[in-house]
């Protein structure tokens, strides 16, 4: 099949041509309605704040009857914030139209293709170096980061048939890797990157008009250039070959569209941080309103996106009103994720990935000549023992090998014994948690037949976090057993929602379980769940740093009681190995397992439920630790094959080694400051996922 840019999916059917006179009234009507909406939202937004200055006071000031305090509030806080929302909305709306037009993919946007995350990483990297940049140099760094992200996505998805699902998986991979890198840099130097974590969720707060005006000029320039690409993008929607036949230089138009889109996105990220889903929602809604010509879509998407950003920020201020006792507020990016996550899920349900019958868009080959299983498993256990020993030694207090042996098997000095006694339970918790996460990944992957179906990527971990935080806030006096129970329920329910939305064909009919669509829907579910968690954390005035540390995954201060939380997941893992034959049959599709007498629906439900319990129970014990359920099963398949009875124990051992080693590295690297284990596993897992996508690019 001939390559057609970033996606080879069939071009959407063109609507039946209408007389030009019937299109303009619709476009004018939609444009007028969106302009009125934006004006109303902007007026409401100007009247919100903690200073007590309302919209009436601002009107009095404009009429010449206001006081100096109102003028200071308006010029120093309200107007910069509203102007920032307008600039960011216009940038994201136009860039979303350009990206979707260039890829012919309604799920494509600057954030879903990793552009925002790449720009965010670049800005954090500049802050980490200690260099103080103005608005334009910082925007240049963000532009470079966004361009690198797009280049990596293109490299990962190039070759073979580039379906929408594969491109979006590549974008999600780049976004995860860039976000993990940004979090790691913030942990390395908290002082240099102070405030960037909150900004990393998107905020419109500004200290003056300089940055909105300077970057607004950049956005205005990009928005004026974008319409020059409108006609070529209209023709590009018919397919590359048709567009070329009509005189479009596809090899120039597509990179130009991406360049302008990245420029606009970089300006938005430099100004307000990464705000997700706005660039996705605005073009989709405008298209649903009947406006399809790119020349009309661009200004209308800009109006709608600006209204969405300002409306989300206004909602954030109304949900949790900042005050002297509660200075924190909900970042606007959290609200847009709460809106955009479900929209992304519904759109993903309609996307045709072509994988329902043939399997996942990314495949993994098994090791055909596996070495002796006992030798491989024994080597894994030896590596685990070594990792545990090293983990007991390293940290803010270093222990020699001799001191470690003495503390474990005889009487040592009091300091050494206390340190080992403190570290031993958390190391054992890390080992058992890693094993459970690996088995959870193997279970989910077996059902959806996709090696990328890691529990964190299909929403299970987000659902578990949502359930656990809900118990902490609603029933703070609940017994400890309620935490893992709520996490398990949240994980199972979230996975059920993902499967319910993902099931069916792209046309809405009943069909097979498309493995790529499951992951795409899961990404939207995970974003929605984490947005709800952030809202609850800020609204309840929780210790945000402690809550975010738990959400990043941590074994800090875990004792032997945490092992009891992992008892049920461990038993479920053993049961999964015992049920090896039906689990093996799940990888054979639909017809053959039924012919062999397997009740396919029941088997899938049980195995998925087991995976959800494993992932959710682990999240309750150590928080959200990602990528273990992806890396460990994949490595296990390569060394021992895909048979469940052999692969699952090997994956459990490898998962234990990964989490124990990551925990030790996190405690040793910046001792006495600890890097959450979830960030370390992400730094390992995200590049591994990049390699996996690149290695299987011709699938």
Give 244 or 1, the one with higher predicted confidence. 244
Instruction: Name which of 167-181, 294-308, 583-597 the model is least confident about.
Output: 583-597
pLDDT level of residue 382 (50, 70, 90 thresholds): very high
* C-alpha–C-alpha distance, residues 112 and 275, integer Å: 11
Q: What is the DSSP code string of 446-484? A: HHHT-TT--TTTTTHHHHHHHHHHHHHHH-TTS-TTHHH
pLDDT level of residue 164 (50, 70, 90 thresholds): low
Does pLDDT of 282 surpass 90? yes
What is the SS3 string spanning 653-696?
HHHHHHHHHHHHHHHHHCCCCCCCHHHHHHHHHHHHHHHHHHHC
pLDDT tens for each residue of 223-270 = 999 999 999 999 988 888 888 888 888 888 988 999 999 999 999 988
* C-alpha–C-alpha distance, residues 168 and 352, integer Å: 13
CATH 1.10.3470.10 residue ranges for the chain: 25-319+327-350, 386-695
Q: Which residue's structure tokens are 């070529």?
A: 232
pLDDT at 232: 92
pLDDT level of residue 9 (50, 70, 90 thresholds): very low
pLDDT tens for each residue of 101-121 = 988 888 888 888 888 888 888
Which ranges in 47-202 belong to alpha helices (H)? 55-62, 68-73, 79-103, 115-129, 135-157, 164-188, 196-199
pLDDT at 325: 52
How many angstroms separate the Cα of 674 from the Cα of each of 87, 115, 409, 623, 668? 38, 29, 28, 15, 8
Question: Which of 657, 137, 143 lies closest to 437 in space, CA to CA?
Answer: 657
pLDDT at 84: 94
Length of the chain equals 699
pLDDT at 550: 60
* C-alpha–C-alpha distance, residues 429 and 391, integer Å: 12
pLDDT level of residue 520 (50, 70, 90 thresholds): confident
pLDDT tens for each residue of 435-453 = 999 999 888 888 777 676 7
- CATH class of the region 386-695: mainly alpha
- How many Cβ atoms from other residues are within 10 Å of residue 368's Cβ? 6
Q: Which fold does the domain 25-319+327-350 belong to in CATH?
A: ABC transporter involved in vitamin B12 uptake, BtuC (1.10.3470)
Does pLDDT of 70 surpass 60? yes
The rounded radius of gyration (Å) of the Cα atoms in the chain is: 26
pLDDT at 334: 86
Question: Which of 680, 638, 674 lies closest to 658 in space, CA to CA?
Answer: 680
Give 568 or 16, the one with higher predicted confidence. 568
* C-alpha–C-alpha distance, residues 333 and 277, integer Å: 9
- The number of helices, as runs of H, and strands, as runs of E, in the chain is 30, 0
Does pLDDT of 20 surpass 50? no
Question: Which of 626, 615, 620, 625 lies closest to 471 in space, CA to CA?
Answer: 620
Q: What is the mean pLDDT of residues 68-85?
A: 88
Residues 633-656: b if buried by 16+ CB within 10 A, e if exposed:
bbbbbbbbbbbbbbbbbbbbbbbb
Q: Report CA dihedral (333, 329, 320, 73) to the nearest 10 degrees.
A: -110
Q: What is the mean pLDDT of residues 675-681?
A: 83
Most confident residue range from 49-53, 94-98, 359-363? 94-98
């Amino acid at each position: 099949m001939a390559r057609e840019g970033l996606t080879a999916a069939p071009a959407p059917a063109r609507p039946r041509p209408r007389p030009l006179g019937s299109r303009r009234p619709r476009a004018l009507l939609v444009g007028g309605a969106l302009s009125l909406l934006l004006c109303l939202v902007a007026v409401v937004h100007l009247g919100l704040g903690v200073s007590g200055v309302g919209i009436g006071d601002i009107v009095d000031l404009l009429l010449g009857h206001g006081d100096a305090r109102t003028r200071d509030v308006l010029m120093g806080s309200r107007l910069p914030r509203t102007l920032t929302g307008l600039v960011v909305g216009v940038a994201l709306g136009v860039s979303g139209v350009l990206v979707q037009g260039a890829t012919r993919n309604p799920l494509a946007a600057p954030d879903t293709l990793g552009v925002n995350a790449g720009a965010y990483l670049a800005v954090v990297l500049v802050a980490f170096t200690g260099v103080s940049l103005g608005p334009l140099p910082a925007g240049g760094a963000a532009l470079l980061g966004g361009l690198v992200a797009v280049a990596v996505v293109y490299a990962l998805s190039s070759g073979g048939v580039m379906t929408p699902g594969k491109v979006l998986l590549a974008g999600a991979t780049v976004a995860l890797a860039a976000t993990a890198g940004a979090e790691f840099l913030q942990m390395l130097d908290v002082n240099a990157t102070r405030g960037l974590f909150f900004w990393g969720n998107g905020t419109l707060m500004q200290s003056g008009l300089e940055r909105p005006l300077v970057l607004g000029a950049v956005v205005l320039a990009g928005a004026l250039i974008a319409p020059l690409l409108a006609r070529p993008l209209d023709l590009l929607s018919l397919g590359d070959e048709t567009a070329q036949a009509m005189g479009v230089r596809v090899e120039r138009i597509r990179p130009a569209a991406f360049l302008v889109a990245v420029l606009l996105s970089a300006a938005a990220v430099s100004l307000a941080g990464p705000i997700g889903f706005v660039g996705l929602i605005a073009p989709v809604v405008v298209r649903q309103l009947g406006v399809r010509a790119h020349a009309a879509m661009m200004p209308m998407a800009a109006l709608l996106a600006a209204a969405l950003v300002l409306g989300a920020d206004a909602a954030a201020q109304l949900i949790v009103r900042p005050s002297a006792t509660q200075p924190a507020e909900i970042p606007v990016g959290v609200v847009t994720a709460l809106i955009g996550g479900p929209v992304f899920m519904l759109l993903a349900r309609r996307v045709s990935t072509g994988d329902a019958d043939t399997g996942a868009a990314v495949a993994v080959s098994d090791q055909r000549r596996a070495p002796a299983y006992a030798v491989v498993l024994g080597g894994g256990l030896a590596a685990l023992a070594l990792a545990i020993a090293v983990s007991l030694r390293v940290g803010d207090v270093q222990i020699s090998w001799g001191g470690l042996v003495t503390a474990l098997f005889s009487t040592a000095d009091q300091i050494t014994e206390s340190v080992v006694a403190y570290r031993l339970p958390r190391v054992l918790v890390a080992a058992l948690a890693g094993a459970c996460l690996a088995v959870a990944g193997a279970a989910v992957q077996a059902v959806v037949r996709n090696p990328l179906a890691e529990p964190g990527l299909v929403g299970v971990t987000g659902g578990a976090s949502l359930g656990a935080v809900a118990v902490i806030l609603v029933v703070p006096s609940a017994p400890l057993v309620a935490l893992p129970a709520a996490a398990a329920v949240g994980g199972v329910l979230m996975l059920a929602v993902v499967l319910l939305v993902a099931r069916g064909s792209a046309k809405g009919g009943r069909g097979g379980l498309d493995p790529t669509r499951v992951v795409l829907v899961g990404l939207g579910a995970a974003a929605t769940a984490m947005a709800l968690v952030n809202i609850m954390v800020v609204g309840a005035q929780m210790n945000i740093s402690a809550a975010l540390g738990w959400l990043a995954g941590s074994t800090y201060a875990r004792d032997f009681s945490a092992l009891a939380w992992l008892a049920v997941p461990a038993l479920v893992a053993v049961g999964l190995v015992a049920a090896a034959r039906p689990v093996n049959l799940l990888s054979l599709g639909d017809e053959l397992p039924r012919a062999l007498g397997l009740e396919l629906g029941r088997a899938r439900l049980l195995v998925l439920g087991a995976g959800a319990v494993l992932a959710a129970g682990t999240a309750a014990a150590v928080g959200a630790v990602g990528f273990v359920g992806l890396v460990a099963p994949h490595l296990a398949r390569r060394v021992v094959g895909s048979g469940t009875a052999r692969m699952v124990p090997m994956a459990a051992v490898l998962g234990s080694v990964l989490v124990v080693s990551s925990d030790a590295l996190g405690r040793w690297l910046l001792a006495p400051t600890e890097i959450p284990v979830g960030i370390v596993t992400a730094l390992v897992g995200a590049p591994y996922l990049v390699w996996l996508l690149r290695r299987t690019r011709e699938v």
